[in-house]
Structure 1
Amino acid sequence: MPNTALVEELATTLIRAEDERQNLTSLADQHPELDEELGYAVQDRTLQLREARGEQLVGIKLGLTSKAKQQRMNVDTPIVGWLTNVHRITDAQLAANDGRIPEDLFIHPRVEPEIFVTLKHDLEGADVTTEDVRAAIDKVYAGLDVIDSRYQDFRFTLGDVVADNASGAGFVLGPIGLNVDDLDLALEAVVVEVDGEVVDTATGAAILGHPLNAIAEGVRLLARRGRKLEAGQIVLAGAMTDAVATNVGRSITFHFTNLGSIRLRGTGE
């Protein structure tokens, strides 16, 4: 059973760092007992603190969904983080900020192109299958996961990043919602352009072979904690490409095969 006082201390530290846009050094350097289990206890406590100040849970995001990232962190499953309503960056916010991610909210934001799904049915259980996931999906969207580690230079352990809500900071929902059966999600591709130059490409197969595999893994991870996904919630299935820092270039564009394009203005260098 995680130490309640330590959970409270770490959760409060991370919330304060986010609110004040302050870098932290690795918490695991000071608390070597900060493993994945303790990290999730901290993550759940930060969600309680968010809800206590009026935020509403709207879904989850998945992290470490590529084999390369899993090997780097020495794990064989993804990690999950919570999304609340304040994490959503709306079209109106982008327009009011001249198409830029509102960087005054973050420390060192980066964006990752992802497959998003919204749910029409609850999803729960340790034995959930990809077919269960498919049956629960309402619509599929492209989107951007805005990541912003509270740790200096994105330096962290597995326990650190789990406690830090899988580096979750925000998300941008794409313009087109399609039925899951009208897409081949493993082959849905994204082309990443900075100032008109292609800098990366990938398909949905980069997400644990198929985005539905990652979502099923996420549901199973939630089941270990006695949690589930609910109808109406949104799931960010995991990064398709490496993250792009928002301070590069004058324009950053993510072109998806069937799910439209998302354009941002970069801050340049």
Structure 2
Amino acid sequence: MVDVHALATTLDEAARDVRAIPKLTERTPFDVAAAYAVQRAGIERRRRRGERLAGVKMGFTSRAKMVQMGVDDVIWGLLTDRMLAESSVDVSRLIHPRVEPEIAYLIGREVRSAAEAESAVAGVAVGYEVLDSRYADFKFTLPDVIADNASAARFGVGAWHPPRDLSNVGLLLEIDGRPVQTGSSAAILGDPARSLRAAARLALGAGMKLEPGWIVLAGAATAAVPLPKDAHVRVTGAGLGSVEVTT
């Protein structure tokens, strides 16, 4: 039997202590179903400390990443209000942070089926996600990363815009004014709307629904890059403006 709460506690304490740990599966093998149970237990620990659910983040949204990890579906994690960065991220509270550009959706009403996910969108924006695996060297198996809430750490979004076609939005990630990644939203499953529908499907499968006010981060449009201290980060999306953060 897998002790879900013990594994969740190990990950939670690693994050709070800013301490990298070995992969959980090295000593306790477990499958994907158990991994999501660990993820939910970890989120419940955060909720008991006063955090509120704020949305969903999607992972493995590129075909190349799916092949690399040997999977045929995306993964997901949960966002809380304390993960939302207003204007700065304290990287001293993170183990080995990385940043990537994102497409963000604002949910306007409860989503009862994957088919109605797009019609429930109240706004779209350019965003970023700061990843921070709790595992040493940022290396993990599929169950490990799911248990670790899909490496979620921090996120931010720019100004919200009315819903529109986001199937091929050019994205630019700059650090200290220097372009470090460029890409297109088409890298997100060919169209980030597919990732949005997958978020609704996975949430419903877990007995949850995308809620009004939640944010869905559709997935990475480029590779993530290390996020250094004392840096200025800007992500720009064609027609969506930009979002900035300092560390």
Indicate the TM-score class for this superposition, using the shorter chain for normalisation.
over 0.9
Post-superposition offset of 1:254: 2.1
- The alignment's TM-score, normalised by the length of structure 1, stands at 0.87
Residue 247 of structure 1 aligns to a residue whose secondary structure is: coil
Q: Distance in 1 between matches of 2:75 and 2:219?
A: 10
Letter in 2 for 1:103: V
Candidates 70, 90, 109, aligned match of 1:121: 109
Q: Distance in 2 between matches of 1:150 and 1:197?
A: 28
Q: Which residue in 1 is equivalent to 2:151?
A: 167
Candidates 28, 31, 42, aligned match of 2:25: 28
CA spacing shift, 1:231–1:264, aligned 2, 3 Å: closer
Q: Distance in 1 between matches of 2:53 and 2:153?
A: 14
Q: Which residue in 2 is equivalent to 1:37?
A: 33
Q: Distance in 2 between matches of 1:49 and 1:224?
A: 22
Any conservation in 1 of the 2:100–2:173 contact (CA below 8 Å)?
A: no
Q: Which has the larger radius of gyration?
A: 1
Q: Percent identity?
A: 39
Q: Distance in 1 between matches of 2:52 and 2:156?
A: 17
Matched, 1:226 2:207: yes
Residue 3 of structure 2 aligns to a residue whose secondary structure is: helix
Letter in 2 for 1:26: K
Q: Distance in 1 between matches of 2:109 and 2:171?
A: 28
Q: Distance in 2 between matches of 1:139 and 1:114?
A: 14
Any conservation in 2 of the 1:194–1:249 contact (CA below 8 Å)?
A: no
Post-superposition offset of 1:220: 1.1
Q: Which residue in 2 is equivalent to 1:65?
A: 61
Q: Which residue in 2 is equivalent to 1:111?
A: 99
Any conservation in 1 of the 2:124–2:161 contact (CA below 8 Å)?
A: yes
- For structure 2, list consecutive stretches of 5 or more residues without a partner in the other structure: none
Residue 202 of structure 2 aligns to a residue whose secondary structure is: helix
Q: Distance in 2 between matches of 1:253 and 1:235?
A: 20
Post-superposition offset of 1:265: 4.5
1:1-269 to 2 correspondence within 5 Å?
A: 3=1, 6-32=3-29, 34-91=30-87, 94=88, 101-125=89-113, 128-129=114-115, 132-174=116-158, 176-181=159-164, 184-247=165-228, 250-265=231-246
Q: Distance in 2 between matches of 1:36 and 1:189?
A: 34
Q: Distance in 1 between matches of 2:64 and 2:219?
A: 13
